[in-house]
Amino acid sequence: MLPPSRREFRDIYVVFELMESDLHQVIKANDDLTPEHHQFFLYQLLRSLKYIHSANVFHRDLKPKNILANADCKLKICDFGLARVSFNDAPSAIFWTYTPAIDIWSIGCIFAEILTGKPLFPGKNVVHQLDLMTDTLGTPPPESISRIRNEKARRYLSSMRKKQPIPFSQKFPNVDHLALRLLERLLAFDPKDRPTAEEVRLSNPSNLKSFQKS
């Protein structure tokens, strides 16, 4: 689809086959997703993210409703161009500059939701969401807080009472330890500590399966 002229070229459209549903509806309607589903979903998301990031594009609003699905369990990322605070927004999307690590955090939140059937950090606002994050991950170290550009955020986190992280094995008692190790990497508070999509795939070639204990 070519524009009439360069001057009128303002919109980009992504066209692909019809997808009957989205990942939000899949998670909501199915409480019997198998480890094979978990593996296939995560693999597709990481593969898609690698491709997107290779073009120096950051989605910035990844969440189950923005991931289309069909009857064959194939996923397609949609709604590029939207960027707003949602349950899956990374701390870096709120306080740091945008980097690919923003999307990696969202993948971690989505993966946790696939495994448990519910949002990981369902914050009502930015402060509430930060509280939920630190309730689980613990308060970030001073060196991470010092790199936050937003002065109010730095003050809020610096004044927060010290919270210890909750072991993921305690928060997710029915999830295999391999999945928990991956979640911990994806959900690192400091964006510099998160892996890239390709690093996750290369470091987990045989572990993107059987994450859910029977």
Q: List active site positions.
A: 61
| Distance, CA of 6 to CA of 148 (rounded, Å) | 39
Query: Please, where are the H alpha helices in the chain?
Result: 23-29, 35-54, 91-95, 101-116, 126-137, 142-146, 151-159, 168-171, 177-186, 197-203
Task: List Cβ neighbours of 207 (8 Å cut-off, separation of 6 or more).
Answer: 178, 182
Q: Is 88 helix (H, G, I), strand (E, B) or coil?
A: coil
Q: Based on the number of CB atoms within 10 Å of its own CB, is 151 exposed (0-12), middle (13-18) or buried (19 or more)?
A: exposed
The counts of H helices and E strands in the chain are 10, 3
Residue type, 149: R
| Distance, CA of 57 to CA of 144 (rounded, Å) | 25
